Every structure is written in structure tokens, then in C-alpha cells.
Copies of this chain bind each other. A is one copy, B any other.
């Protein structure tokens, strides 16, 4: 945005939007103009939502998921099976699992994946918080990181730490996506689908 022909607070707002992931300067300008057309009460609601989320949301003491409470609703739900922990990269992944309505265990959020190229070493993830939960009451840890290089490396790294403790470590099954078309599947997925074939 041209600082000479635009009002400065508008330029500053556009720059704030442009700092968000996936929003370029052109989109940021469009968003800033949109804000100018919103009612003052709507803008205040937006600003309050920003501050409120940042102030009141923190990580659950147990599973590290984002929550307003000290312990998140899933960890504090006595109907959940706390002997099975599903380890995920981010809180978004929990939402995906909860949508299946099938998983009854609890979670653990790593808040990232090991990625030396991005300078994310194991000590930057919530791994020691996971290990501290393995006090004998946990019988299985499901590694549910993404099937990417980083996801695989993180699953392998953590499983090597956990196995000596006598806890079963499992990995999500890989195969054809349900509803997917075989001819469009990549080689590795197809290989995994073949390798993990089941008798019918």
C-alpha cells in the first residue's frame, strides 16, 4: 500500500494482516479496507477476540492441547480411556480425530515435529511431558503424526524412547484413502496398501 496516498493507520493494519501465514500484501490491503467498512462494534469484537484468545487460552497441563481450563475437557472427561494416548502434531489434529467419534482414548499434542532443517530439535517439542505421563497406567501410545518425512522421523524418535518403558507403541495404518481412486494413488501409498493388505 502506498504510504503517500493511503492513511497511515490503514497501512499499518494491512502490514499486520500481511504478517499472517498465507496472506500476501494485496490480500492484506483488501482486508484492511474491509475493516474500514465494518461497524465499529464488529471491529471491537474482532480485536477483543484476538486479545481474549491469547489471554485465556493456554496448554492443558496434561495433554498440552489448547484450553481455557487448567485441564482440557478431554483429559477431565472420566468416560475417556486414559490408558491409550494418541500423539499428534497439533491441536487441529485432535479436532480431526474427534470428528470420527470413534476414538475413546486421550491425546498428547507435541506442538510440532522434529525438523532439523527448521531448527526444531526434540527438546522444542512436548516430549518430556509425554514421557512423564507413562507412569504405568498407560498401556498404548498411538503415534498419529503425519505420514511425512518429519512425521515419520518424530514417530520413530519417540517410539524408541517409549518402547524400553514396556509400553506398546503403534502407528496409524497407511493405505488407500476411503473413496479414493486407485489409479490416482501415488506409488508409496499403493505399496503401503499392498503391504498392509487384510484377508476378507
* Total copies of this chain within the assembly: 2
The answer to whether A5 touches B53, judged by C-beta atoms less than 8 angstroms apart, is: no
Q: How far, in angstroms, from A53 to B67 measured CA to CA in the complex?
A: 31
Range, interface on chain A:
35 or more
**Is A66 an interface residue, CB under 8 A from the partner?**
yes
Interfacial residues of chain A within 5-58, with CB under 8 A of chain B in the complex:
5-10, 12-13, 15-16, 19-22, 27, 29-36, 38, 40, 42-57
**Is A74 an interface residue, CB under 8 A from the partner?**
yes
With A50-B43, A54-B43, A95-B2 as known contacts, state yes or no: A66 contacts B22, CB within 8 Å.
no
- List the interface of chain A (C-beta within 8 A of B): 1-2, 4-10, 12-13, 15-16, 19-22, 27, 29-36, 38, 40, 42-57, 65-68, 72-74, 90-92, 94-95, 98-99
